[in-house]
Amino acid sequence: MEGNQSNIAAASPNGASSVPAGQELAMQTLSYSSQPPAPHTPSAPLQQSRNSIRLLSGILAVNILLLGSALVCGAAFSKVKVLSDEEMHIYLTILLILTTAWMIFYMVHTASRTQAVLYKDSHAGPIWLRGGLVLFGLASLIMDVFKIGFSTGQLNCESPVKVTFPLVQLVFVVVQTYFLWVHSKDCVQKESNITGCGLMLTLATNLMLWMSAVADESLHQTGEESLKPNGSFSHLRDGSMFFKAGGSGCECTHSACGIFEKGFYYLYPFNIEYSLFASAMAYVMWKNIGREIDDCSHHKISFRAKEIVFGVIVGLLVVIAGLGVFIVYEVEVTGDASKKRVLIMYYTFSIIVLILMSLASLAGSIIYRFDKRTLVSTKNPTRSLDVALLLGAALGQFLISYFSIVAIVAEKNTGSISMLNLTCSCLIILQLCLQNVFIIEGLHKQPYHAEPPVVSVVFINEGTSHSNPYSPSLKNDNDEPSPAENSLELSSHSHDFRSTTHSSSSHMSWKRRALKEISMFLLLCNVIFWIIPAFGARPQFDNGLEEWVYGFSMWVAIVNIGLPFGIFYRMHSVASLFEVYLTT
């Protein structure tokens, strides 16, 4: 036994030191509490098989997407009409059927196998994402019903594919929403090859739906524009005209066609959001294939807003003012006379709120500099993914803002609306950068109530075990009771760690309070900046400047690509800010 012990590897991070062995191992243990060695590292063959699954399924998705984008581009932008919508719809229908079939197979067969889903990722598929999915899913269902109604009226002259496609899409939306609601947290261990390809198929199908919806919507808007002799897009909002879809000249046989068509074009943006949400969730599931986690970090911190007054009040004022602006905007923007006034009102409101938000984010980031909390050093793939999605989604808003700025500066237009638009675009960029920094710093901080996890060290020696919890005395602002367990893994297997719970009650430090106020204020502001574009305000078209500089079809494409990401970003930041609020 003693001989054995002298051979033991003490892979100490301190290298060759002169510290006695026992002490050195104790130091190593201590260092685990601040930096555990890559907790979720799977074994080598497992990692290898994960890599090969990723490679194969990634290649599959790339092929589906590139073939699809060739079809979309061919159908949308080709001058000679060699490619029609029909090929595109046949391709999409096939994809939808395959994906639906795989999801049913997964739910019936794979997930029900023993040991297929041993672990659940508690960070994946948060409630806001699943809630948003159901909400937008419902809108997509209504859109599909409208589409079916519209297409049945055109059956005499249009191909039957036009009816089949929304029918299949309807089934797909129902199955997929249920599938993602139930299984979005799964870390699949069995049949990972099929699951990997299936999830990549789901991702690719959703992205294809997104792509074709963006192209459809852009063409539709461009078609509307070309029907008008002069002027701007907003005139068509009242729907006084009725456009033939795609200009095919096919007459509808029943009278409800007009309502159906108006309805489904109104619901398009929700369907685009639905595809984005489903893509994000499928991607997270795909990243979780074969992951072995033992994730029990349930934030049991209760939500008590009563101590937070200032942030909530100012935030609520902003939301109420925003709703007022939104309603006035929607009512008045259709008239030529009132449009300029409404736009000035909208931009002024945005500028004021954006300045407040930027200042709040900046103040928050400065407070973090003085914050003594330790950083969460465990590598958390879900958090990294979350941050990546947040940053990626912000690109949409960046895109629109930069195109606006370039257009205004190049046109040298010094009208009041252009100047306000310019200021607003610059402020959006600034605000997004500052808010991203604030959120990411907040997410990386150790929760206020959670002490750095205490490593309960057990030395098993032929049946007898001595337990001796060692609690490092790190400086911390903890002074409130709240048990937050922080699980820490040294390997993929389970370990014996316990967290101590301090029980003492006092008021919050000013830093914590300020951070909580700031995150609550930002949260509410993001809610209103989500509502305004999500429910149809489009100053990007109403001011008419950019569409004149870039040409209508190009500007429509940019807005249709950028805006859904912008909306997704606002929802995502609301969720992230709520997490920052809770952990502060």
Contacts of a copy of itself in 404-423 (CB under 8 A): 405-407, 410-411
Q: Does 433 bind a copy of itself (CB under 8 A)?
A: yes
58 near a copy of itself (CB under 8 A): yes
Closest separation in Å from C-beta 91 to a copy of itself: 10
User: Of the candidates 358, 436, 486, 584, which one interacts with a copy of itself according to CB under 8 A?
Assistant: 436
Q: Find the binding residues for a copy of itself in span 462-521 (CB under 8 A).
A: 462-463, 466, 468, 470, 490-496
CB 193 within 8 Å of CB 101: no
Among residues 414 and 468, whose Cβ is nearest to a copy of itself? 468
Min dist CB 163 to a copy of itself, Å, is 22
- Looking at the Cβ atoms of 20 and 229, the one nearer to a copy of itself is 20
Q: Tell me, what amino acid is at 14? A: N
DSSP, residue by residue, 240-270: -S-PPGGG--PPPSSTTHHHHHHHHHHHHHH
Give CA–CA dist 167/175, Å, rounded. Answer: 13
Minimal distance, residue 496 CB to a copy of itself, in Å: 8
In three-state secondary structure terms, 401 is: helix
Which one of residues 351, 457, 508, 531 is an interface residue with a copy of itself (CB under 8 A)?
457
Give yes or no for residue 395 binding a copy of itself (CB under 8 A): yes
- Name the E strands within 234-368: none
* Interface with a copy of itself, residue 15, by CB under 8 A: yes
Per the rule left: phi > 0, alpha: psi between -120 and 50, beta: everything else, 15 is left
338 part of the interface to a copy of itself, by CB under 8 A: no
Whole-angstrom CA distances from 107 to 55, 112, 178, 265 are 24, 7, 10, 33
**Under 8 Å between Cβ of 310 and 234:** no
Instruction: Specify the residue, 60 or 531, whose C-beta has the smaller distance to a copy of itself.
Output: 60
16 binds a copy of itself (CB under 8 A): yes
Nearer to a copy of itself by C-beta: 13 or 247? 13
Residue 401's contacts (CB-CB under 8 Å, 6 or more residues apart) are 425, 426, 428, 429
Span from 38-46, 117-125, 145-153, 198-206 in contact with a copy of itself (CB under 8 A) = 38-46
Helix (H) or strand (E) segment spanning residue 430? helix 416-444
59 binds a copy of itself (CB under 8 A): yes
Q: Strand, coil or helix: what is 36? A: coil
Residue list 245-304, contact with a copy of itself (CB under 8 A): none
Instruction: Check residue 127 for interaction with a copy of itself (CB under 8 A).
Output: no
Other CB atoms closer than 10 Å to residue 403's CB: what's the count?
20
What are the backbone angles phi and psi of residue 454, rounded to the nearest 5°?
A: -95, 125
**Residue 560 contacts residue 355 (beta carbons within 8 Å):** no
Helix, strand, coil in percent for the chain, rounding step 5: 65, 5, 30
Strands 455-461 and 186-188: unpaired
> Could you tell me the smallest distance in angstroms from the CB atom of residue 32 to a copy of itself?
7
**Of how many residues is the chain composed?**
584
Identity of the residue, 557 or 574, whose beta carbon is nearer to a copy of itself in the bound complex: 557
Residue 20 touches a copy of itself, criterion: CB under 8 A: yes
Cβ nearer to a copy of itself, comparing 26 with 531:
26
Q: Which two tokens stand for residue 382?
A: 């879900």
If one counts every other C-beta atom within 10 angstroms of the C-beta of residue 249, the result is: 7
Which of 317, 375 has the CB closer to a copy of itself? Answer: 375
Q: How far is the CB of 115 from a copy of itself (least distance, A)?
A: 17
Q: Select the residue interacting with a copy of itself from 316, 345, 399, 531 (CB under 8 A).
A: 399
Report 86-125 residues binding a copy of itself (CB under 8 A): 87
Q: Which 357-386 residues touch a copy of itself, going by CB under 8 A?
A: 375, 377
Give me the least distance between CB of 523 and a copy of itself, in Å please.
Answer: 21
Site for a copy of itself in 147-206 (CB under 8 A): none
What is the distance between the alpha carbons of residues 458 and 437, in angstroms, rounded to a whole number?
40
Task: Give min distance, CB of 159 to a copy of itself, in A.
Answer: 15
What's the angle, vertex CA 215, arms to CA 209 and CA 216, rounded to 5? 85
Backbone angles phi, psi at 119, to 5 degrees: -125, 150
Give the span between the Cα atoms of 498 and 283, in whole angstroms. 33
| The binder of a copy of itself chosen from 372, 460, 473, 506 (CB under 8 A) | 460
How many residues of this chain bind a copy of itself (CB under 8 A)?
A: 103
Nearer to a copy of itself, 74 or 263 (CB): 74
Compare residues 63 and 416 and give the one whose CB is closer to a copy of itself: 63
